Amino acid sequence: MLMSGRFGAYGGAYVPEILMPALEQLEAAFLAAMEDAAFQAELAELLANYAGRPTPLTRCRNLGSERVRLYLKREDLLHGGAHKTNQVLGQALLARKMGKTRLIAETGAGQHGVATALAGALFGLKTRIYMGAHDVERQQLNVFRMELMGAEVVPVESGSRTLKDAINEALRDWAASFADTHYLLGTVAGPHPFPLMVREFQRVIGKEARAQVLEEEGRLPDAVIACVGGGSNAMGAFADFVGDEGVRLIGVEAAGRGLDGAEHGATLLRGRPGILHGSETYVLQDADGQIAESWSVSAGLDYPAVGPEHAYLKDSGRAEYVGATDREALDAFALLARREGIICAFESAHALAHALKMAEAATEETVLVANLSGRGDKDMGQAQRLLGPSA
Amino acid sequence: MSRYAAMFARLADRGEAAFGGFAMLGDPDLEAGDALLDALVAGGADMIEVGIPFSDPVADGPAIQAAAVRALAAGATPAGCFGLLAAFRARHPDIPVGILTYANLVVARGRQAFYDSAAAAGVDSVLVADVPCAEAAPFLAAAASASVDPVLIAAPNTPGPTLAAIAAAGRGYTYCVARAGVTGADAEVRFDAALIARLRALDAPPPVLGFGISRPEHVRQAIEAGAAGVISGSAIVSLAAERGPEAVRGFVAAMKAATRL
């Protein structure tokens, strides 16, 4: 490796030896692409004309107030329906550059699977998506989307049958297939160089939001708020604000059915450092180190580890991490639909729930930016069941 | 002389290669697991490799994953596994025993505490499947301090400088993965004689081949490719689950016979 792949004490590349050359190849290709004007131009063109960047920064008309202004970064409007498309396009270009002919990916809510499937279709790459069998059941619409774009969706029956098990299975596939296959990992977790690379491809979220809020307000926001499962939309939203000392960076984890029980996905709030999926980071685990099964109403936040840079930002104090329960997220989801006419993903509703709490508590003039990481179409079936037809 | 060194020296005198049998500790349950380990010895295994079951074994295929699931369901814990190993060591004082496990179980116990527990249980080596050579330094230090051999993995695609580091830092034996992919019993295997030759040239700890070894002809092919031994895992845990320890004893005897050329 050319770089340490560390964020303070976190990160690294904990994979079977056989995968190390594939990670080294990827790191070299990524670092070269960062300096390659032609690569950057092609990615910028795709982001603009295929994916629909820049996405708007919408000031809520009805939530918040004159004094407390709540802005939403509208990644829900991105092609594919979530921020995932940003980095998938980057990695798919890298895969092509490395001469790989096949993509594999894991998916939780199905958003990353959909994004990978669209890239597979666009670049003519054979695509296989691993998805926990439990998630396949709760995200049928996204399964069909992936299949419509030509991807093969493989339900994973092992373990908790959710995102972590899908990652295990993708890593097993890659250990055999790396010669012709790129593992298009969907978040800022996993072994180096994924956490760094995915952050850089998602940096565009915060870069745009920073310029947009400066344009609107003439100043930086008081806080940037994003949900954290693996943590890619949050790292993308935070990255360009890390140097802005006055801007609070707030990651919202899934508190599920409550932080006092075991049914949550609050890795940074309730986990402790360990090693999972190639990275040293916070992990939900028992005293022996067996990985715990996480819980969240949103499949995308249902993950017992977290990107190592978030672990670093937590320990350094630069970012704060809080939780929002299933109930709080569902209430925020319904409120946004009713008051602003925007149906967001359950994942993004966690960020919104905390932003609304902050807005309510604010006593001074306050500017908040919440990252609306995805749209809610995929959650309609569940929302109907949970909120009822008259919600 | 370490138990591994003594074993390789003894086998060299006889013109044999080593047969390593793998079992998941606590599979199918804590008591029956003992009988399985004893069946490996009774069948003639020269070295015993044991898994400490982990919830998320990314380097393992379906057979060993299933064994880990059974063991965890039966209540196997690292502390319990060290107890099983200490009892095994009391029954079998001389046979080399190695642990194969995953990094999170090691760091959760505390790296040094894990290796110290292994040493106290009479374990000779520890291999951590998801710690490549580049991340091995703190694990090597803990192993050295506990006088446990750190076994490192070498793969057919491992580049020269890394292979040299593996040869220099590894102890006991070098675990060579015979092919890409995860553990599993294959119908046919192809061995990378080049990897073994490269390790021999680097004076690495004796190369022992694993991954896919499930038939006596695989054993012979591995030895012809220059291996000092083989490890069979998935075939054993599947056989144990389907037909019990007596069938395993017979399987091990047939595999061991193939190490005598």
Per residue in A195-248, pLDDT (tens digit) is: 999 999 999 999 999 999 999 999 999 999 999 999 999 999 999 999 999 999
C-alpha distance from A41 to closest chain B C-alpha (Å):
34
Q: How far is Cα B123 from Cα B2, in angstroms, rounded to an integer?
A: 11
pLDDT of residue B157 exceeding 80, the answer is: yes
CB contact under 8 A, B65 and A158: yes
Per residue in B109-136, pLDDT (tens digit) is: 999 999 999 999 999 999 999 999 999 9
Instruction: Using the Cα atoms of residue B54, residue B56, residue B57 and residue B61 in order, give the sign of their dihedral.
Output: positive
Instruction: List C-alpha distances in Å: A391 to A151, A330, A345, A377, A382.
Output: 35, 11, 16, 16, 13
How far is CA A127 from its chain centroid? 20
Q: H or E element: which one contains A7?
A: strand A6-7
**Would you state the pLDDT for residue B188?**
79
The residue with tokens 């591995």 is B222
B1 pLDDT band (50/70/90 cuts)? confident
**B14 by DSSP, 3-state: which?**
helix
Q: How far is Cα A92 from Cα A50, in angstroms, rounded to an integer?
A: 14
The residues that bridge with A224 in the sheet, in sequence order, are A249, A369
**B10 by DSSP, 3-state: which?**
helix
Q: How far is Cα A38 from Cα A42, in angstroms, rounded to an integer?
A: 6
**Would you state the pLDDT for residue B190?**
76
What φ, ψ does residue A41 adopt, rounded to 5°? -70, -40
CB contact under 8 A, B181 and A176: yes
CB contact under 8 A, A275 and B55: no
A389 pLDDT band (50/70/90 cuts)? low
Plot region of B91 (φ>0 → left; ψ -120 to 50 → alpha; else → beta) = alpha
By a Cβ cutoff of 8 Å, what residues of chain A touch chain B?
1, 12-21, 158-159, 164-165, 168, 171-172, 175-179, 273-278, 280, 283, 285, 287-291
Percent of chain A with pLDDT over 70: 99
Q: How far is Cα A325 from Cα A330, in angstroms, rounded to an integer?
A: 9
Per residue in A161-173, pLDDT (tens digit) is: 888 999 999 999 9
Report the chain A residue with the minimal C-alpha distance to residue B53. A290
Of A17, A164, A178, the CB nearest to B56: A164
Best of B56, B81, B152 to disrupt the A interface (most A CBs within 10 Å) is B56
CA angle in degrees (0–180, nearest 5) for B80-B152-B4:
70
CB A146 within 8 A of CB A114: yes
Is B103 within 8 Å of chain A by CB?
yes
CB contact under 8 A, B61 and A172: yes
Can you read off the two tokens belonging to residue A141?
A: 């619409």
Q: How far is Cα A112 from Cα A83, in angstroms, rounded to an integer?
A: 9
Can you read off the two tokens belonging to residue B118?
A: 């292994």
What φ, ψ does residue A45 adopt, rounded to 5°? -65, -45
CB contact under 8 A, A14 and B103: yes
Per residue in A112-163, pLDDT (tens digit) is: 999 999 999 999 999 999 999 988 987 888 999 999 999 999 999 987 788 8
Per residue in B71-113, pLDDT (tens digit) is: 999 999 999 999 999 999 999 999 999 999 999 999 999 999 9
Plot region of B76 (φ>0 → left; ψ -120 to 50 → alpha; else → beta) = beta
Q: How far is Cα B18 from Cα B40, in angstroms, rounded to an integer?
A: 13
DSSP class per residue in B141-196: HHHHHHT-EEP-EE-TT--HHHHHHHHHH--S-EEEESSSS-S-B-SS----HHHH
**Would you state the pLDDT for residue B191?**
78
Of A13, A285, A287, the CB nearest to B135: A13
Per residue in A236-258, pLDDT (tens digit) is: 999 999 999 999 999 999 999 99
Considering only CB atoms, which chain A residues are within 8 Å of B105?
Answer: 288-290
Residues of A annotated as part of the active site: 60, 83
Domains of chain B: residue spans and CATH:
3-255 (3.20.20.70)
Plot region of B106 (φ>0 → left; ψ -120 to 50 → alpha; else → beta) = alpha
CB contact under 8 A, A18 and B177: yes
